[in-house]
Structure 1
């Protein structure tokens, strides 16, 4: 399922050494099936020659390793059988044809689902991130509709209003993390929007020196959901829970769960139950610099 016709094919054979071929500045884009069930459903389309799911994962890992040696950028997205079947039906394409797969992978509305591949273990963190990226991409498309297409397609006044809401949402999130201090947390937020609830979540490591580790795609979605709620003045809630503390503090940790609620204008402390987690009212965001 590669985008570029010159990309290496999946193979169990040893790849050629990197020095044997020049490194291209072109991007390599591929789609990856993310479960054995999806693999079984897609076999009729001849997406891979692998005999079973385990062989498919091995072949895909070899493909990606060769691509990293050959191309300047390697990206992947979830190859979702339902999405692909709908895409082929809409565009009257034969799903067994390679051209159909190529068009599906480079479909502009799906570009938010692309993730850079940096030699992660497929069955470790990368495949779950691909699944989340698809869900995040669908949410981002919903948000674009709520924002009337966002700054790119709006007049200047609307564009400025969207930018202000995005800055406000990012600042709300920043104050929640700064106020929480160092620790390992999970953040979830939800906004009740026309067309269905908008949701986002992120895993966060906040180090003693103030450095915060969070996946870029999760940060983008969190800020987008907060932005949409503030821009459209929609009710919402946010919850931060996990283990507060660090080894530098003599290994002292405590479990925390804080929450905030919004009626559309801003977030204030409130007792909230969200995603099966009950939380006490959080600290006032106005007290955090």
Structure 2
């Protein structure tokens, strides 16, 4: 009887434990993991089917499970840093536990992996871009001539430019995209702005922080980035575009706006926060004729 009670209690407790699955969503990442003897899957489609079946079984038991993207390169680095054998399931489990605390995760609530993965990829790219941009700003340091912290000055200037750009659209919804070429890759950030009843703009603070950080990188490194803003009043859309030059945003022509907004590279892997590069999806945006608020630093 006591045995049965203990088993029942353990089953109840098991439902209280949240878990995380590290998902190899990309076929290339899956292929990279096959070099490990203890990774027994040999077909990516079958692997995805088994993961989805496992998620469904956990959900049926009332267990909360989150999904994170498993990056083989980051995993190899993690094993090296922590002196772990990468060809061991325990090492993969430990890395996945790390992802649960440091990386983007998404709770499984019955959706298919086909529905979940694009959102998870987008969130991972977004967070990695912000971390990478923040690291770049912190590393730039102070101006050799005046001692001003270049990253901080660039962020302040970017905040001002963003507010000025938003102010050009009037009391309508706006969607902004900022792209900044940097060290062989393109950093991208997006921001959606709605309107309050009084016409004042409303935006998500986290999105605004990430957007401003990416724009600040462009200012700090004197990149030829850009900004595109699409406005909508419910009946028609208008697109405004600007090119970043130094600390200014210069208006784009209609043809330049079309090229910036309607063409761009596909979405790829996120940049590594520690500096390992990758490309992003990107078009450009901005507001022209804005006088500089801070000194240009090189």
TM-score range, shorter chain: 0.5 to 0.7
Aligned counterpart, 1:132: 122
Aligned counterpart, 2:72: 81
Counterpart in the other structure of 1:274 = 260
Distance, in Å, in 1 between the alignment partners of 2:137 and 2:184 is 15
Q: Could you tell me whether the CA contact under 8 Å between 1:176 and 1:285 is conserved in 2?
A: no
Gaps of 5+ in 1: 1-15, 152-156, 247-251
Q: Does residue 225 of structure 1 match 2:214?
A: yes
Matched, 1:54 2:49: yes
Which runs of no fewer than 5 residues in structure 2 stay unpaired?
1-7, 142-146, 265-282, 291-298
- The residue that corresponds to 2:267 in the other structure is none
- CA shift, 1:126, in A, is 3.5
Deviations 1:203-224 (A, max 9, x none): 73635646757695x5543222
Question: Is the contact made by 2:243 and 2:251 (CA closer than 8 Å) also made in structure 1?
Answer: yes
1:223-246 Cα shifts (integer Å, max 9, x gaps)? 2211212233433211123x6122
Q: CA deviation at 1:78?
A: 1.1
Q: Do the aligned partners of 2:38 and 2:89 also contact (CA within 8 Å) in 1?
A: no
1:253 maps to: 236
The number of residues matched between the two structures is 246
Q: CA deviation at 1:40?
A: 6.0
Q: Does the alignment pair 1:199 with 2:187?
A: yes
Q: Measured at CA, do residues 102 and 202 of structure 1 come closer, stay the same or move farther in structure 2, by a change above 3 Å?
A: same
Relative to structure 1, the CA distance from residue 64 to residue 38 in structure 2 (aligned partners, 3 Å threshold; closer, same or farther) is farther
Higher strand share: 1
| TM superposition shift of 1:164 | 4.4
Tell me how large the CA RMSD over aligned residues is. 4.6
Match of 1:234 in 2: 223
Q: Provide the rounded CA distance (Å) in 1 between the counterparts of 2:263 and 2:46.
A: 42
Q: Which has the higher contact order (CA 8 A, sep 6+)?
A: 2
Residue 190 in structure 1 maps to residue 179 in structure 2: yes
